[in-house]
Amino acid sequence: MVGRDAVIAACEASSAELASTMTTFRSFRSIVGTDAVVVDAVAEYREPDGTSIVSSCDLYDFADGLVVAITSYAVELDE
C-alpha cells in the first residue's frame, strides 16, 4: 500500500472483517529500536464458521517521528 488513503481503507476493511470475530492473543511482544519497532504475535481468531491461528510479524520503520514503512508477514498455523 502506498499513501494515507490506502492505509485507511485497508484498516477499515480489516475492522469490518473482524467485527464478528473473537480474537485471543496467545503471545504478543514488541522490540523497540531507534528507528524501528518490531511486533511479533500469535493470535487465535474465532468466527462462527471456525477457528484459525495466525502468527504475524510487523516491522514499523520511522523517520523524524513518522511511520515511513510497514512490512508485515503472516502465516496460518495448524491447531
Does residue 58 register a pLDDT over 90? yes
Does residue 79 register a pLDDT over 80? no
User: What are the domain boundaries of the chain?
Assistant: 21-77
Domain spanning 21-77, CATH class: alpha beta
Contact between 68 and 62 (Cβ < 8 Å): yes
Report the predicted TM-score, pTM, of the whole model to 2 decimal places: 0.76
Split at pLDDT 50, 70, 90, the class of 57 is very high
